[in-house]
Amino acid sequence: MNCQICQQESEKYREEKLSGDLKIQVEAHLQQCAECAESYRIHSTADSIINQERAILPANDLTERIMDRIEKLEDTGNKNSKPFLRVLQPVLIITSMAAAIFIGVLIGNIYKPTGTVISRPVELSLIDDATIESVDILSNE
Amino acid sequence: MLQGRDEMTESEVIVMILKGNQDKYRILVEKYQTMVFRTCIGFLHNKDDADDLSQEVFIQAYQSLNKFKGESAFATWIYRIAVNASLNKVRRNSRSPIFNRLNSLLVTGNEREISVPAFDNEDPENILIRLEKSKWIQNALDTLPENQRTAIVLSKYDDLSQKEIAEIMNTTEGAVEALMQRAKTNLRIKLSTSYKKNR
């Protein structure tokens, strides 16, 4: 038996799926070949580590935790799925915003400024600012 | 097909759940939790993380149950969800290793340990050696490409046949066989290299 065949068959050998002549040949090769023997040891260790991880069981309360979460999901789902609430919520928001704008405009129109109002003489409004010469130009002359 | 406590078939259970009898989902959870958990631990190597992810898998499956058409077995369908959720979790972890390290330190007070069950009256030195070996094997597994890693986890942790793996991975048996061969070769090289380094 050569190394390639030994490597191919070693997995079955580790899993005790080999029998008869092939098993004897693999065993003989593993005793002679240091490289294949080392590879066999490495893979046996890997198999045992994987088996140890496989032996770990899920938490005892995993089912309960899942069912609790599903119950909560259903509760929230039911609350959200009440049709009148689904329609009412946006309607209420839009109505309250419209009411706020309407009241704002109403108060703005009702408001009349009281107290001292600075009155501007009519002549002032007739002055055309564009025709007034710049002070800088005057000072340069 | 599942013969539940009420002698109901799996599809009957699903129909009842979809009609609003949510408590029937317990039957499916109890039946499939160990296999989902094994898939998750195969990818994550940590019991707490695998518990949390298994929970997410079942919640996700419950929320998408109306999309389950029965074209494949429920087991195949939930395996697919578990594999995808595990791969997403692994990708997230690899994208933010510093954050995860900090998070694990803050949450648990120390670095999260790799899960290896301790045997009664085991020598502490033996436990340490076993932990070292576990890290070494897990690192080798974690560096495999995603599809090879999925095939190995489903084969070694869940003990599934090539046909079942092909169904879950939505590919042919031949493709799975080739994938397994490549995965084993890669694993052999990685294990041998790291073994020689750590010797």
**Tens-of-pLDDT digits for all 199 residues of chain B?**
344 444 678 888 899 999 888 899 999 999 999 999 999 999 998 999 999 999 999 999 999 998 888 888 999 999 999 999 999 999 888 766 565 555 555 554 444 555 555 555 666 666 666 667 777 778 888 889 999 999 999 999 999 999 999 999 999 999 999 999 898 888 888 877 766 665 5
- The second-level CATH assignment, the architecture, of B116-199 is Orthogonal Bundle (1.10)
Per-residue pLDDT for A35 more than 70?
A: yes
Contact call for residues A40 and A10 (beta carbons, < 8 A): yes
More confident residue, A19 or B73: B73
* Interface mutation vs chain B, best among A10, A45, A49, most B CBs within 10 Å: A49
- CB proximity list for A95: less than 8 A, separation 6 or greater: none
Q: Tell me what ipTM this predicted complex has.
A: 0.77
Give the amino acid at A39: S
Q: Give the range among A28-37, A85-94, B45-54 with minimum mean pLDDT.
A: A85-94
Looking at residue A130, its pLDDT comes to: 67
User: Rounded to an integer, what distance in angstroms lies between the CA atom of residue A29 and that of residue A37?
Assistant: 8
A121: confidence class by pLDDT, cuts 50, 70, 90: confident
Looking at residue A96, its pLDDT comes to: 94
Contact call for residues B74 and B14 (beta carbons, < 8 A): yes
Looking at residue A108, its pLDDT comes to: 87
Contact call for residues A42 and A7 (beta carbons, < 8 A): no
Element (H, E) at B82: helix B74-95
Nearest residue of A to residue B195, measured between CA atoms? A42
Looking at residue B87, its pLDDT comes to: 95
Domain map of chain B by residue range? 1-115, 116-199
Looking at residue B4, its pLDDT comes to: 44
Nearest residue of A to residue B140, measured between CA atoms? A46
* CA distance to partner chain A, nearest, from residue B61 (Å): 11
Is A62 in Cβ contact with B116 (below 8 Å)? no
B1-115 placed in CATH 1.10.1740.10: yes
CA quadruple B110, B141, B122, B197: dihedral sign = negative
Is B22 in Cβ contact with A71 (below 8 Å)? yes
pLDDT by residue (tens digit) across B14-67?
999 998 888 999 999 999 999 999 999 999 989 999 999 999 999 999 999 988
- Residue B96 CA, chain-centre distance (Å), reads 21
* CA distance to partner chain A, nearest, from residue B78 (Å): 15
Is A70 in Cβ contact with B62 (below 8 Å)? yes
* CA distance to partner chain A, nearest, from residue B77 (Å): 18
User: For B2, how many CA atoms within 13 A lie in the half-sphere containing its CB?
Assistant: 21
Q: Give the range among A7-11, A25-29, A41-45, A133-137 with minimum mean pLDDT.
A: A133-137
Most confident range, picked from A41-45, A113-117, B191-195: A41-45
Q: Give the range among A66-80, A93-107, B100-114 with minimum mean pLDDT.
A: B100-114
A133: confidence class by pLDDT, cuts 50, 70, 90: low
User: Rounded to an integer, what distance in angstroms lies between the CA atom of residue B197 and that of residue B190?
Assistant: 11
Looking at residue B127, its pLDDT comes to: 67
